[in-house]
Amino acid sequence: MRHPTFLSLHTMFDIEKIRSDFPILERKVYDRPLVYLDNAATTQKPRCVVDAMSEEYFSVNANVHRGVHFLSQQATDLHEAARERVARFIGAASSSEIVFTRGTTESLNLVASSFSEAFLREGDEVLLTVMEHHSNIVPWQLVRERKGIVLKVIPINDAGEVDMEAYEKLFTPRTRLVAVTHVSNVLGTVNPVKQMAAVAHAHGARILVDGAQSVPHFPVNVQDIDCDFLTFSGHKVYGPTGIGVLYGKEELLDRMPPYQGGGEMISRVTFEHTTFERLPFKFEAGTPDYVGAHGLGVALDYVEQLGMENIHLHERELTRYAMEQLSLIPGMRLFGTAAEKDAVVAFTVGDIHPLDLGTLLDRLGIALRTGHHCAQPLMARFGVESMARASFALYTTRAEIDALVSAIDRVRKMF
């Protein structure tokens, strides 16, 4: 399939060249060119990320932080350089506010566990939107079991936008935290997190932003948003699996207890008493995924060199085009029509079960996702059990969206 060079408003976004950085995109499935539209689940990796990681394993590898020997120091330098890289990328005030985790899910569990230990009492309230991923719901339900906190749900309108009036009305003197996704992994809605943070702070509450679906797609600056926490996963931003980030304001992280105990996170241990390391190491028990952290740093360099603004413009245009083209298919029901929408389209077609649709599209070489997308409360909000979802990345082309549209039309005609 030819992928014509795409001209964005500000720059030439040379799609052919970009795609050549991702060897997997040359693959065929069922003897057809792969059309990979499952980027919200995970993104493909540019060669530079995998090369940097194998180079580290082949020529630097040693455990970080503990050794005085040459390799250990070099590995530690790479690890800490990656932390600095992440801090700059999201505009954190200091790299000690960057905690490496396994991914968004672990970052969210860390906050739920440690923040609640430090700051939540029985009857305190946490607000969540109805569009949260299960990983920003279930950890809070576990806290509810343990501590008797109250979870309140922020409603959305039919376009999939947060109802800001209802949001404000949910606050009481017991509201301690708002935990909200920046971008819905199903609807693509970009939530007004800066505005939501201002409202939360005006009520004396804190705000956690789940950036799993925003950090890969447009510039995110934690100081501009003024969020108290931000979470994201390396594998969704062209980095490796097994590495993720928790950003937290230093004054908060300082007052939160460790999440796990073990090596690396202590200052001194006796059987009577243990003191903990300074930030961020207090939250990083055990050997970290230092090679993964380095890979993530290289991935952030890669997207930054393309320009997050350029990526954003490219994907916004693709999303607009996809919505326009899909809406022409008879029986198409599109979920998520927010004015601010990014890189994800979710839909059903007539009464074709999304699983059947996904299976048949797969035979045509098109990889998309079907099911509840780890957002069952959102499925219930729209009165469905499942949806099909196509999600885009910086290497997605118009030709791939055309392929999706004509494949759906072909499948539709079989029913």
**Known catalytic residues?**
374
* Angle CA 304–323–362, to nearest 5: 85
N residues, the chain:
415
Nearest to 123 by CA among 81, 173, 78, 163: 173
Q: Of 79, 83, 85, 133, which one interacts with ligand PLP (CB under 6 A)?
A: 133
Decide: helix, strand or coil at residue 239.
coil
Interaction between residue 161 and ligand PLP (CB under 6 A): no
Q: Cβ closer to ligand PLP: 18 or 243?
A: 243
Task: Work out how close the CB of 295 gets to ligand PLP at its nearest, in angstroms, rounded to a whole number.
Answer: 15
Binding map of ligand PLP across residues 68-107, x = CB under 6 A, - = no contact: -----------------------------------xxx--
Instruction: Assess contact for 255 and 234: CB atoms under 8 A.
Output: no
Residue 204 CB neighbour total at 10 angstroms: 10
Say how far apart CA 251 and CA 254 lie, in whole Å. 5
Say how far apart CA 231 and CA 215 lie, in whole Å. 9
Instruction: Assess contact for 190 and 182: CB atoms under 8 A.
Output: yes
Task: Work out how close the CB of 136 gets to ligand PLP at its nearest, in angstroms, rounded to a whole number.
Answer: 6
Task: Work out how close the CB of 109 gets to ligand PLP at its nearest, in angstroms, rounded to a whole number.
Answer: 9
**Cis peptide before 33, with omega less than 30 degrees from 0?**
no
Stretch that binds ligand PLP, among 72-80, 113-121, 160-168, 206-214 (CB under 6 A): 206-214
Instruction: Assess contact for 373 and 387: CB atoms under 8 A.
Output: yes
Q: Of 212, 298, 346, 404, which one interacts with ligand PLP (CB under 6 A)?
A: 212
Number of residues that bind ligand PLP (CB under 6 A): 13
What separation in angstroms does the CA of 91 have from each of 62, 205, 248? 30, 22, 12
Q: Cβ closer to ligand PLP: 124 or 342?
A: 342
Interaction between residue 181 and ligand PLP (CB under 6 A): yes
Interaction between residue 233 and ligand PLP (CB under 6 A): yes
Q: Of 124, 210, 284, 342, which one interacts with ligand PLP (CB under 6 A)?
A: 210
Map the footprint of ligand PLP across residues 23-62, applying CB under 6 A.
40
Decide: helix, strand or coil at residue 269.
strand
Q: Cβ closer to ligand PLP: 105 or 325?
A: 105
* 88, HSE (Cβ side, Cα atoms, 13 Å): 10
Task: Work out how close the CB of 242 gets to ligand PLP at its nearest, in angstroms, rounded to a whole number.
Answer: 10
Q: Which residues bind ligand PLP (CB under 6 A)?
A: 40, 103-105, 133, 135-136, 181, 185, 210, 212-213, 233
